[in-house]
Amino acid sequence: MLSWVLTFFIIAIIAAVLGFTGIAAAATEIARIIFVIFLILFLVSLVMHLVARVKRP
């Protein structure tokens, strides 16, 4: 999932350099949304791991 963020970020940078502001803004927004989803899933996974670790004797 993080690779998708990097891909859209690179697309946004290239589009911004070439002057395609609409495409750059869209790619930046997609990258931001995917990054937030990645961050939320990471935090849920971390909490689940810590909870499972505490339950073991």
Residue 56: φ, ψ to 5°: -75, 140
Q: What is the pTM of this model?
A: 0.66
Residue, of 2 and 55, whose pLDDT is higher: 55
Mean pLDDT of all residues in 39-50: 89
How confident is the model over 1-42, as pLDDT tens digits?
668 778 888 887 887 787 777 888 888 888 888 888 888 988
Domain ranges across the chain: 2-55
- And the tokens for 6? 């990097």
Who contacts 25 (Cβ-Cβ below 8 Å, separation ≥6)? Answer: 12
- And the tokens for 34? 């995917």
Mean pLDDT of all residues in 38-47: 89
Do 38 and 6 contact (CB within 8 A), yes or no? no
On the question of pLDDT at 57 being above 70, the answer is no
Helix (H, G, I), strand (E, B) or coil at 8: helix
Judging by beta carbons within 10 Å of its beta carbon (0-12, 13-18, 19+), is residue 16 exposed, middle or buried?
middle
On the question of pLDDT at 56 being above 80, the answer is no
